[in-house]
Amino acid sequence: MDIARTPSTPDGNYQMADAPPEPVDPPLIRREDYKPFDWLVPQTRLDFALGVESTRVTATLSVARNPAGEQAGEIRLNGDGLTPLEVAVDGQASNSWRMDGNDLILPLAGEAHEIRLVTEIDPAANSQLMGLYASNGMLCTQCEAEGFRRIAFFPDRPDVLSTYTVRMSGERQAFPVLLSNGNLVAQGEDSSGHWAEWHDPWPKPSYLFALVAGDLVARRDTFTTMSGRTVDLAIWVRAEDLDRTEHAMESLIRSMRWDEEVFGREYDLDQFNIVAVGDFNMGAMENKGLNVFNTKYVLADPETATDGDYDGVEGVIAHEYFHNWSGNRVTCRDWFQLSLKEGFTVLRDQLFSEGMRGAAVKRIEDVRLLRSVQFPEDSGPLAHPIRPDSFREIGNFYTPTIYNKGAEVIRMMRTMAGPERFRQGTDLYFERHDGEAATCEDFIRAIEDGAGLDLTQFRLWYAQAGTPKVEAVLEHDGETATLTLRQMVPPTPDQRTKLPVPIPLRLALFDRATGRHSGEQLVVLSEVESVVRFAGFAEKPVLSINRGFSAPVAIERTVEPDDLVFLARHDDDAFARYEAMQELIVGHLVSAIGGGLTDAARIEARQAIGGALSAILTDPELDDAMRGELMMLPSQTYLSEQLLVADPGAIHAEREALKAWLGRTLEGELAALHQRASSQSAGMGHAARGARKVKGQALVFLAAGNPELAARTAASQYDAAETMTDRQAALMVLTGLPGAERTHKLIDFYNRFQNDPLVIDKWFSLQASSLHPQVIEHVKALARHPDFNLKNPNRVRSLFMAFTGTPLGFHAASGEGYRMIADLILALDPINPSTAARFVTPLGRWRRLEPGRAALMRGELERIAAKAGLSRDTFEQVTRSLG
Ligand code: TRP
Ligand code: ZN
C-alpha cells in the first residue's frame, strides 16, 4: 500500500480508502529548472557484502558545501525502493532523517560531513535490470541513467562527481571474479570467502559506477598507448563462450589505436575490462574502466554470428570505448544534455567503422537506419529535439533522435569546418571541459572557437524537432543552370512554428554527355529560400544533391526517371548513387500505392528500375558490398514515411509486386549472381563478405519471382552453409515460403543451436518477422514456447520487436497484431518497465494510418492507459502517443 496516497482519519489511524487513490501523474522535469546540487561529494566508499538474494551495501560519503549551490540545512539523497537500515553522520547514529517519497533527507548543519548509510537489496528479485541484479548466477550492475539509486542513497545526478573506492566480499565459489571501476588495489581472504578492493582515480558521476561478481573467464591482451603505457585488457565471459571473443578483442584494440590517431585521445587507466551478460536492457554500457555488454555485442564466430553481427560487435565495442572521453572524462551536466555524449560518440563510432570497413557502405547503412527509425520518430507523437526541454522518465529519451540525429548534427559541423578544423574544435572541447559535467552549449562554443565557425543560427538544430524538408528545383536557360532551394521545418507536438536552419548541402552538376562533373560544392541553405546560379552549361545538367547525406533532411524534387538512372550509373559519390536508385523506386511505388498509375506508366517505370538494377547486377567494376546496397528496395517504413496516410497492406502489396516482377524479369542475372557469389563466399575477408551479401539479396528477389526455384536454392544454400550469414539468409527466405522445407529447416536450426541463446534469438526473430501469411499464429505459438522468457530482454525483442515490423502480422486489418503488442506491454510493464515502454513506439503511429487501423491502434493505447499502476516509463510513452 502506498501510505502517502492514503487519507488518514483525524485520530491519526490510517484508513483504507473505499476507492483506490487518485493516481498522481509522474512529474514533468524541465531543463530550464536546472540548479546545481547544494553539496559536493568528493569521496565515496562502497562496501558490498555480496549475495544473490541479499546484498548488504554500506555507503560512506564525504560531503562538503558546494560554493555554487545554496546554503541548505539538509541533503537530499535519491533512493528507489531502498530502506535505510543504518544512518550515521560523522560517526554518530542519526535519527533525524526522514523519507520524502523514495528519497532520504538528512539535516546537515556544518560545512563538511561524513555520511554513512546501510541498505540491503535482493539482486535476484530485480527483474528491471536496473541497479544491482543477478544474471545466470552472476551479479552485475546497470546504473545509467538512474539505477544507482536502487543500490545506495546518493545524489544520483550526473553533475555530482566523486572519487570511488569499492570493496566487495563474497563466497569464492559463487563469485570467483570480483570487478569494479578503475584499478584493483588489494584483495584477500576473510571469514565468509574472499574480497577485492578497487579504486578509480577519476572522479565520476554515479551512473558510471559498476560492479560485477561471478564465475567468469577472461580473454586477455595488452595495449601500449601513444605515450608508452601498457594497459591490461580483459574480456570476461562464461567459460563456454571464451572462444567467441577474438573479434571483440581485436575491435577493442583497433578502437584504442584509432581514437589516438584520429581524435588524439589516450586511455587513462592501467586496466580495461569488458564483461558480457545475457540479461541486459540495451546494447552496452560505458562504466569507467568496466564496460558491461549485452552478450550480443561481444560474442561472435562465423558459425553463430552473421556479418552484420560482426559489424555490430565492432561498432558497439568502439562506441563504449570512445565514451571514455566523450562521456566519462567529459560528462553531462544533466540528462537533457544526453546527446552531448551520445550524439558525439555515435559520430565517433560511425567514423571509426567508416575507416575500418569502407566509408561508402557504412554511410549508406547509417542513413538507412536514420530514415527507418529516426525520421518516423521525428514525424510522430514522440518527436523531440536532440536537446529535449522536458521529460517524465529519462529512460524514454535514449532514442534514435538523441543518438543518431545527434550524430548527424555534429557531422554537419564537421562537414562545414572540414576534418582538420573540426579536430581543433574537439581538442579544445576536451581541453576546456576535462573533468567537468558539460552542456551541449559548451560543446557548440568549443567547436565555434576551435574550428572557427559561427554556429549562432546552427544552434536551432539542438532546439527544434522535426526533419526539415528541402525542395530543390533546377532550371536551365541559355548557358545558366539555376537551382532554387526552399526549406520547411514541419511542426511537431510541442513546437508549432519553426525557424529555418542552416542546411549544408554537398552538390554536383553532371554533364550528360561526358558523365562527369567539374567539382563538388558545399551550399549552405540558411534562409527559407535561396537561389544559386551555375554558369557554363550549354545543356541542362543532372543534379546530384545532398551527396554523402551531408544534411539529415528530406529532399523533395521532381526529377526525370532518366536522370535518376543516369545518377545510379554514373555518380561518383557512392551514397548519391544509392540514393538515385532509392528515389527511382520510391517515386514509382508512391504513385502505384496512390492508385493513379496507368498500366503503361507502370510498365515504363518497372522497365526503368529493371534496367538500372540489371546494370547493377552485372557491373564488373562494382564491389559486391556496394552492389548489395544498391540492390536493396526501400523499406516498408521508409515508404510509409513518404505518404501522408499509410495503408500498410497496400504498401506491402506494391512493394512485393515490384520485387516479384524484378525477380522474374531478372531471374537469369540473379541466379547467375547467386551462383558466382556462392563460389566466392568462404572466409571473413571483404570480398567474401560482399559475396554473401549479394547472395542473400539475390535470393530475396528470386523468392518473390519464382518461389519454387528459390526454395530449392535456399535449401541447398542452407545445407552448404559454413557461416551464419549464409544459413540465416537461406532460412529467412524459407520461413516466408509455405512448404515442408520451411518446417524441416526450422527444426534443424533449432536442434543445431538449442544451447546457444543468441542463435535461438535469431530463430524466434526469423519466424516473427517473416512474410508468411500465418505469422500471427506463429508468434502466438512462439510466445508459449518453453524457450520464450519475458524476463530476458533479448528474447522478448527477438520475438515481439521483430513482429512489429511485419506489414501483414502487426498491421493485420483485424487489429490482432496491435492487441498482441498491447498485451505484451501490459504483461512486461511490471517486470521490466524500460523494455516495456519501448514497445509503445510502434503503436504511436496511428495518426499516419488509414482510419480503420488508426482506430484499432488508438484503442489499444487507450486500453494500456486505463490500466492502474503503470510505470512512469510506459505512462509517459502512452500519454504522449495518445497526445
Ligand atoms: N550509455 C549507454 C550507451 O549508449 C546506453 C545504456 C546502456 C543505457 N544501458 C542503459 C541507457 C540502460 C539507459 C538504461 O552506450
Ligand atoms: Zn552511448
- Overall average pLDDT of the 468-493 stretch: 97
Give the DSSP letter string of 571-585: -SSHHHHHHHHHHHH
Does position 10 have pLDDT exceeding 70, yes or no? no
Per-residue pLDDT of 260-297, as tens digits, reads 999 999 999 999 999 999 999 999 999 999 999 999 99
CB-CB contact of 622 with 616 (8 Å): yes
Q: What is the pLDDT of residues 758-794, one digit of tens each?
A: 999 999 999 999 999 999 999 999 999 999 999 999 9
The pLDDT confidence band at residue 15, using thresholds 50, 70 and 90, is: very low
Pairing of strands 469-477, 554-556: parallel
Q: How far apart are the first and last CA of the chain?
A: 30
Mean pLDDT of 802-819: 97
Going by pLDDT thresholds of 50, 70 and 90, the confidence category of residue 134 is very high
User: 812 in ligand 1 pocket by Cβ < 6 Å?
Assistant: no
264: nearest Cα among 342, 194, 337, 326? 326
Query: Which amino acid would we find at residue 171?
Result: E
> Does the pLDDT at position 570 exceed 80?
yes
Closest to 307 measured CA to CA, from 690, 818, 778: 690
In testing the pocket of ligand 1, which one of 126, 132, 144, 324 has its CB within 8 Å of the most ligand atoms?
144
Cβ–Cβ < 8 Å for 437, 410: no
Nearest alpha carbon to residue 288 among 153, 394, 195, 198: 198
Q: Is the CB of 165 under 6 A from ligand 1?
A: no
Nearest one of 190, 141, 186 to 165, comparing CA atoms: 186
**Alpha-helical runs (H) found in 300-435:** 307-322, 338-357, 359-369, 375-378, 400, 406-417, 419-433
The chain-wide mean pLDDT, for the chain, equals: 96
Ligand 1 site, residue 338, Cβ cutoff 6 A: no
Residue nearest to atom 1 of ligand 1 (CA): 285
CA distance 93 to 90: 8
C-alpha grid cell, residue 472: 530543390
Any bridge partners for residue 111, and if so which? none
- Alpha carbon distance 551, 96 (integer Å): 57
For residue 4, the model assigns a pLDDT of 36
User: What is the structure's pLDDT at 20?
Assistant: 59
> How far is 134 from 142, CA to CA, in rounded Å?
11
Q: Is the CB of 396 under 6 A from ligand 1?
A: no
- Asked if residue 647 lies in contact with residue 380, where contact means CB atoms within 8 angstroms, the answer is no
| pLDDT tens for each residue of 674-719 | 999 999 988 999 999 999 999 999 999 999 999 999 999 999 999 9
Cα angle 248, 254, 260; round to 5 = 140
Estimate to the nearest angstrom the gap between the alpha carbon of 196 and the chain centroid: 34
Indicate which residue's Cα is closest to atom 6 of ligand 1: 285
Task: Please spell the DSSP secondary structure of 230-280, one letter per residue.
Answer: EEEEEEEE-GGGGGG-HHHHHHHHHHHHHHHHHH-----SSEEEEEEESS-
| Mean pLDDT of the 27-36 span | 98
Count other Cβ atoms within 10 Å, centred on residue 23: 12
Which pairs count as long-range contacts for 775-778, CB under 8 Å and 24+ apart, including other chains?
775/803, 775/806, 775/808, 775/809, 776/809, 776/812, 776/816, 776/817, 776/820
Strands (E), 34-170: 39-49, 55-65, 74-77, 86-89, 92-93, 98-100, 103-107, 112-121, 131-135, 138-142, 162-170
Predicted pLDDT at 550: 98
Residues 6+ apart with CB under 8 A from 63: 39, 40, 41, 42, 75, 108, 112, 113, 114, 115
Share of residues in the chain with pLDDT > 70 (%):
97
Residue 161: CB atoms within 10 Å: 18
According to the model, what pLDDT value does residue 21 have? 61
Residue 152 is predicted with a pLDDT of 99
Question: Is residue 346 in contact with ligand 1, taking CB distance under 6 Å?
Answer: no
Contact between 693 and 681 (Cβ < 8 Å): no
Residue type, 35: K
Distance 812 CA to ligand 1 centre (A): 33
List the one residue out of 878, 876, 808, 809 whose CA is nearest residue 843. 878
CA 683 to chain centre: 29
CA of 523 to the centre of ligand 1 (A): 36
Indicate the DSSP class of residue 690.
H
Sheet of strand 193-204, all strands in order from the earlier edge strand to the far edge: 92-93, 86-89, 112-121, 55-65, 39-49, 162-170, 193-204, 183-190
Rounded to the nearest 10 degrees, how much is the dihedral formed by the CA atoms of 561, 563, 565, 566?
A: 170
What is the Cα–Cα distance from 25 to 57, expressed in whole angstroms? 31
> Can you tell me which atom of ligand 1 is nearest the CA of 327?
1
**Which of 146, 314, 320, 741 is labelled catalytic?**
320
Map residue 360 onto helix, strand or coil: helix
Q: Looking at ligand 1, which residue's alpha carbon is closest to its atom 12?
A: 144
Label residue 18 by pLDDT band (50, 70, 90).
Answer: low
- Give the pLDDT score at 12: 39
For the chain, state the CA radius of gyration: 28
Q: Which atom number of ligand 1 is nearest to the Cα of residue 145?
A: 13
C-alpha 322/C-alpha 329 separation (Å) is 10
Nearest ligand atom owner, CA of 344: 2
**Whether the CB of 398 sits within 6 Å of ligand 1:** yes
Mean pLDDT of 803-822: 97
Q: Give the mean model confidence (pLDDT) for residues 369-388.
A: 97
Q: What is the pLDDT of residues 161-198, one digit of tens each?
A: 999 999 999 999 999 999 999 999 999 999 889 999 99
Nearest to 729 by CA among 747, 750, 744, 714: 714
Residue identified by cell 519553426 is 498
Q: What are the structural domains of the chain?
A: 1-33+754-883 (1.25.50.10), 41-303 (2.60.40.1730), 330-463 (1.10.390.10), 469-558 (2.60.40.1840)
Spatial contact of 471 and 465, defined as CB atoms under 8 Å apart: no
Span 448-475, pLDDT tens digits: 999 999 999 999 999 999 999 999 999 9
Longest dimension (CA), the chain: 95
State yes or no: pLDDT of 3 exceeds 60: no
Pocket-testing residue among 129, 148, 206, 285, ligand 1, by greatest number of atoms within 8 A of Cβ: 285
**Neighbour order of strands in the sheet with 74-77:** 74-77, 103-107, 98-100
Cell numbers for 782: 512462439
Q: Partners of 492 in the beta sheet?
A: 495
CA quadruple 273, 277, 279, 282: dihedral positive or negative? positive
Query: What gap in Å lies between CA 505 and CA 515, rounded to an integer?
Result: 21
Question: How many angstroms separate the CA atoms of 660 and 610, rounded?
Answer: 11
395 lines ligand 1 (CB under 6 A): yes
At 24, is the pLDDT very low, low, confident or very high (cuts 50, 70, 90)? confident
pLDDT, tens digit (0-9, with 9 covering 90-100), for 411-423: 999 999 999 999 9
Asked if 237 contacts 220 with a C-beta cutoff of 8 angstroms, the reply is: no
Q: What does the alpha-carbon distance between residue 843 and residue 883 come to, in Å, rounded to a whole number? A: 12
Does the structure show a pLDDT above 70 at 488? yes
- Within 8 A by CB and 6+ apart from 338, the residues are 332, 394, 397, 398, 402
- pLDDT tens digits, residue range 317-357? 999 999 999 999 999 999 999 999 999 999 999 999 999 99
Q: Kindly report the CA angle at 787 between 786 and 790, in degrees rounded to 5?
A: 100
Residue 149 grid coordinates: 539509486
| Ligand 1 lined by 285 (C-beta under 6 Å) | yes
For the Cβ of 328 lying below 6 angstroms from any atom of ligand 1, the answer is no
CB atoms within 10 A of CB 725: 25
Q: Are 341 and 332 in contact (CB under 8 A)?
A: yes
Q: If DSSP codes are grouped into helix, strand and coil, which group holds residue 74?
A: strand
pLDDT tier for residue 7 given thresholds of 50, 70 and 90: very low
Catalytic annotation present for 320: yes
3-state SS class at 541: coil
Residue 18, classified by CB atoms within 10 Å of its CB into exposed (0-12), middle (13-18) or buried (19+), is: exposed
Q: Whose CA is nearest to atom 14 of ligand 1?
A: 144
Q: How far is the CA of 193 from the centre of ligand 2 (A)?
A: 36
| Neighbouring residues of 459: CB distance < 8 A, sequence distance ≥ 6 | 441, 444
